[in-house]
Amino acid sequence: MSFLGRFRRNKPDPEIARRALLLKAGRLGEATILEINTDADGNELLAYCYTIGGVDYETVQRLDVEQLSRKDTYLPGSRADMRYDPHRPANSLVV
């Protein structure tokens, strides 16, 4: 480690910061679960869609440890609560 490296701040993970912001200040909405898949690394991916202001959005998110413990609530076709950024509705998170 270099001398200046000791004084450099560690940048937070942008995904953790995004999730924290949405959980704190995101607007609440409702999403429809499309499917759950597993990627090559073994992560569970949740595909869902939602409508904000007449615009349809479809996205995928990786499930965290807490969501994996209640994975059976994310059945295809079921409804789930989500949070989204009102200034950028494509930025969303199923809670």
Whole-number Å distance between alpha carbons of 89 and 83: 9
Report if residue 1 sits inside a domain.
Answer: no
- Whether residue 1 is predicted with pLDDT greater than 70 in this model: the reply is no
**Is residue 6 assigned to a domain?**
no
Domain span holding position 85: 29-94
Sequence letter at residue 71: K
Distance CA 80, CA 77 (A): 10
- pLDDT confidence band for 65 (50 / 70 / 90): very high
- Residues 6 or more apart whose Cβ sits within 8 Å of residue 64: none
Asked if residue 86 is part of any domain, the answer here is yes
**77 within domain boundaries:** yes
- pLDDT tens digit sequence for 8-32: 778 888 989 999 999 999 999 999 9
Cα 81 to Cα 55: distance, rounded to the nearest angstrom: 18
The encoded tokens of residue 11 equal 């940048």
More confident residue, 16 or 7: 16
How many structural domains comprise the chain?
Answer: 1
- 54 domain-assigned: yes
Number of CB atoms found within 10 A of residue 38's CB: 9
Question: What is the arithmetic mean of pLDDT over 38-51?
Answer: 96
Quick check: pTM over 0.75?
yes
